[in-house]
Copies of this chain bind each other. A is one copy, B any other.
Amino acid sequence: MHTYSEPSKLMSTSAPRLQSMANAIRVLSMDAVQAANSGHPGMPMGMADVATVLFSKFLKFDPAQPRWPDRDRFILSAGHGSMLIYSLLHLTGYEQPTIEDIKKFRQLHSVCAGHPENTELPGVECTTGPLGQGLAMSVGFALAERHLNGVFGDELVDHKTFVIAGDGCIMEGINHEAIGLAGHLKLGRLVVLWDDNRITIDGDTDLSTSEDVAARYAATGWHTVACDGHDFADIERAIAEAVADPRPSLVACRTIIGKGAPNKQGGHSVHGAPLGAAEIEAARAELGWTLPAFELPEEVVADWRAAGVPGAKAAAEWAQRLAAAPQGAEFSRRMAGQLPDLAEAEATFAAWLEGSQKVATRKASELALSVLTPVVPEMVGGSADLTGSNLTKTKATTDLSADDYSGRYVSYGIREFGMAAAMNGMALHGGILPYGGTFLVFSDYCRNAIRMSALQKAKVVYVLTHDSIGLGEDGPTHQPIEHVMSMRMIPNLEVFRPADVIETAECWMLALQNEGTPSVLALTRQNLPQLRKSGPNLSAKGAYRLIAAEAPRKVVLVATGSEVEIAAAVRDKLEAAGVGADVVSMPSMSRFYAQDAEYVADVLPANVLRVSIEAGTTFGWERVTGLEGLRFGIDSFGASAPADQLYDYFGLTAEKIAPQVLAAVTNN
């Protein structure tokens, strides 16, 4: 087994030298915040000592290769303390950020953004700031490591995940979901360093919490240990214990927020505002730091640069193993995010065109997954305890558990937010293409993690079933109204709502090919007829003419998902009345409007009445129909009843829609 060389890399580094290294973080952080006149000095200064021990004695990294696959992952869950990670990356010798980047902290186009962004800096594993999600993503990182270890072995995959988390990360509800999952899956290579400074923005933590955090972690199967976060030897002892323990570990680091700022440290005023010139001067005196802002002592830089040397050596050895490994090419393919050949799957889907499968699109998704998962081994599925409803499990995706990490199906439990964040972590770790299911209405529970998929360009596929009043009797708490449309507004998120078995397979293919873009599949509970009998992947254009008018065209009916069938029935009535109508299926609105103007104008020609039909809010459909068109949908909450009665009650039947369209055409 190729474990990373212990004992510690800089065991001989003396406490005074470590102190200088830590103080470099403190000074860089307070100076950068001061220069920006904005930011959070408290956390970087409070956790500087812990971070110094972590990076110099435990973390396996190679500054020259930020994306080396077998590096340890370091996640700053308390993302507001971004100057901590910028300082660490700079000091240890990463190409970015430069000292010039740090001088431009929080300025337009600086890679040193207010919160660390994985899209800006290769040394940043994930974007953090929304509290609790960094830690929850780290569970995904740690799970990805174990899964890939299960598939590729110790030779290629053998690293740890370290997290720095604050009180916010601990108090947020997602923490419960994340640590419950990590404890259950026994992710022993996950170590959380909790900045236990007993301060939140509003004041002392005892203003709002009385929790015994360690006891709670222990209750979910975690190892816990505490240390003095300003005593280097004690920090090292605690982290060493955490690393050695087979359970995931919480290290409670008792710290003083803003340590080094003599008049402000320990109070909540130091959390999120510049220290001010006077306090910065006092801190320099306190720390014995004589250099001006953004200048660093050579010997301190040298000590910091030494921290990455063992990692560079390990990376070189790893590269040799990769070159020699029979599975090396496959490992590299997965880590590069390159899909395998999908020609056979495409051929299978093409053969479906000749059939006539009347199935729910959730079932169609299961059928598509049964084709895709055997040939895309990096797909790791799961559900938030709705496997039998979301239909997310296939033969190829056997259970992933603490007993068998090589499995490909995660029982996430009733933890939607935790699931979504874990999937982000898995995708960002690399080597995994995660998908997971819940009911569409409960996208609300994980909405910010879906947003974070989009912001981080993480290829995650959300399988969101029971996508309208069509779910029937469960009623308004479970019936999405605003959800599909409101997710269409999230930048860089593609929302698919396929209309039948063919479009579902097409949308799955597109989702897999969406580089840097997460996808939502909104799928029905109820059966839908197969509407498509021919064509290449027409969903690839976002919308297309499914049925052309026969009589002179006066109407274009645009629908998505389960309402395309209704649109086709409306069209029949219109044609019977001598009114020509196209039916346009629009599985992806964003994709359609990304097509060239000629195509858009062909599908949605001028001088016709445009009508939208979607069993959700009509708000937003003006983009398609214009104000002069008609929009059929539901602008109230749903109701509890059998689905067909609800469609009638809410006026979404051909019988109720067609006369209104005819009247509008006649009036024009």
Are the C-beta atoms of B389 and A201 separated by less than 8 Å?
yes
Are the C-beta atoms of B177 and A645 separated by less than 8 Å?
no
CB-CB contacts below 8 Å: A96-128 with B: 106-110, 113-115, 117, 127-128
Are the C-beta atoms of B626 and A622 separated by less than 8 Å?
yes
User: A294 to nearest B CB, angstroms?
Assistant: 18
User: A108 to nearest B CB, angstroms?
Assistant: 4
Are the C-beta atoms of A444 and B448 separated by less than 8 Å?
yes
Residues of B within 8 A of A448 (CB): 441-442, 444-445
User: A201 to nearest B CB, angstroms?
Assistant: 5
Are the C-beta atoms of A127 and B208 separated by less than 8 Å?
no
Are the C-beta atoms of A477 and B79 separated by less than 8 Å?
yes
Tell me, yes or no, whether A491 is within 8 Å of chain B by CB. yes
* Beta-carbon nearest neighbor of A488 in chain B: B619
User: A348 to nearest B CB, angstroms?
Assistant: 28
Are the C-beta atoms of B168 and A385 separated by less than 8 Å?
yes
Tell me, yes or no, whether A527 is within 8 Å of chain B by CB. no
Are the C-beta atoms of A477 and B455 separated by less than 8 Å?
yes
Are the C-beta atoms of A476 and B455 separated by less than 8 Å?
yes
Question: Which of B209, B385, B617, B640 is within 8 Å of A200, CB to CB?
Answer: B385
Tell me, yes or no, whether A131 is within 8 Å of chain B by CB. yes
Tell me, yes or no, whether A183 is within 8 Å of chain B by CB. yes
CB-CB contacts below 8 Å: A462-489 with B: 472-478, 481-482, 485-486, 488-489
* Beta-carbon nearest neighbor of A447 in chain B: B444
Question: Which of B175, B209, B383, B489 is within 8 Å of A486, CB to CB?
Answer: B489
Q: Give CA–CA (A491, B646) in the complex, Å.
A: 17
Question: Which of B114, B482, B645 is within 8 Å of A640, CB to CB?
Answer: B114
Question: Which of B180, B201, B388 is within 8 Å of A209, CB to CB?
Answer: B180
Are the C-beta atoms of B620 and A489 separated by less than 8 Å?
yes
A128, A412, A413, A642: most-surrounded residue (chain B CB, <10 A): A413
Residues of B within 8 A of A115 (CB): 474-475, 477-478, 640
User: A130 to nearest B CB, angstroms?
Assistant: 6
**A173-B175, A383-B202, A492-B637 are contacts. A168–B414 as well, Cβ < 8 Å?**
yes
CB-CB contacts below 8 Å: A67-120 with B: 79-80, 106-110, 113-115, 117
Tell me, yes or no, whether A211 is within 8 Å of chain B by CB. yes
Question: Which of B129, B417, B641 is within 8 Å of A477, CB to CB?
Answer: B129
Question: Which of B39, B211, B649 is within 8 Å of A219, CB to CB?
Answer: B211
Residues of B within 8 A of A491 (CB): 481-482, 617, 635-637
Tell me, yes or no, whether A176 is within 8 Å of chain B by CB. yes
Are the C-beta atoms of B184 and A177 separated by less than 8 Å?
no
**A117-B476, A418-B173, A626-B626 are contacts. A208–B412 as well, Cβ < 8 Å?**
yes
Question: Which of B388, B478, B641 is within 8 Å of A202, CB to CB?
Answer: B388
* Beta-carbon nearest neighbor of A218 in chain B: B215
Are the C-beta atoms of B411 and A202 separated by less than 8 Å?
yes
User: A222 to nearest B CB, angstroms?
Assistant: 10
**A113-B475, A211-B220, A622-B623 are contacts. A172–B173 as well, Cβ < 8 Å?**
yes
Tell me, yes or no, whether A207 is within 8 Å of chain B by CB. yes
Residues of B within 8 A of A296 (CB): none
Q: Give CA–CA (A183, B489) in the complex, Å.
A: 38
Are the C-beta atoms of B173 and A385 separated by less than 8 Å?
no
Number of A interface residues, CB 8 Å?
107
Are the C-beta atoms of B202 and A385 separated by less than 8 Å?
yes
Are the C-beta atoms of A184 and B172 separated by less than 8 Å?
no
Q: Give CA–CA (A107, B172) in the complex, Å.
A: 38
Are the C-beta atoms of A180 and B211 separated by less than 8 Å?
yes
Tell me, yes or no, whether A147 is within 8 Å of chain B by CB. no
Tell me, yes or no, whether A221 is within 8 Å of chain B by CB. yes
* Beta-carbon nearest neighbor of A171 in chain B: B414
Tell me, yes or no, whether A319 is within 8 Å of chain B by CB. no
User: A452 to nearest B CB, angstroms?
Assistant: 8
Tell me, yes or no, whether A158 is within 8 Å of chain B by CB. no
Tell me, yes or no, whether A398 is within 8 Å of chain B by CB. no
Question: Which of B168, B385, B478 is within 8 Å of A129, CB to CB?
Answer: B478
* Chain A 15-46 near chain B by CB (<8 Å), digits 1 or 0: 00000000000000000000010110000000
User: A409 to nearest B CB, angstroms?
Assistant: 11
Are the C-beta atoms of A208 and B640 separated by less than 8 Å?
no
Residues of B within 8 A of A488 (CB): 619
User: A340 to nearest B CB, angstroms?
Assistant: 29
Are the C-beta atoms of A177 and B183 separated by less than 8 Å?
no
Are the C-beta atoms of A173 and B417 separated by less than 8 Å?
yes
Q: Give CA–CA (A442, B641) in the complex, Å.
A: 33
Are the C-beta atoms of B208 and A114 separated by less than 8 Å?
no
Q: Give CA–CA (A220, B175) in the complex, Å.
A: 14
Tell me, yes or no, whether A216 is within 8 Å of chain B by CB. yes
**A114-B640, A115-B477 are contacts. A414–B184 as well, Cβ < 8 Å?**
no
Residues of B within 8 A of A642 (CB): 38, 107-108
Tell me, yes or no, whether A386 is within 8 Å of chain B by CB. yes
Apart from the given pairs A130-B444, A180-B209, 14 other A-B contacts in the complex at a CB distance below 8 Å: A106-B640, A107-B642, A110-B640, A114-B473, A115-B478, A130-B441, A171-B415, A172-B173, A173-B173, A176-B176, A183-B211, A452-B477, A481-B490, A482-B491
10 tightest A-B CB contacts, nearest first:
A173-B173, A208-B413, A176-B176, A129-B477, A486-B486, A444-B448, A108-B641, A482-B489, A215-B219, A113-B640
24 A-B pairs within 8 Å (CB atoms) are namely A36-B473, A38-B472, A38-B642, A79-B477, A107-B641, A108-B646, A109-B641, A113-B476, A115-B475, A115-B640, A130-B444, A167-B414, A172-B173, A173-B176, A173-B177, A200-B385, A200-B413, A210-B220, A212-B219, A212-B220, A485-B486, A491-B617, A622-B622, A622-B623
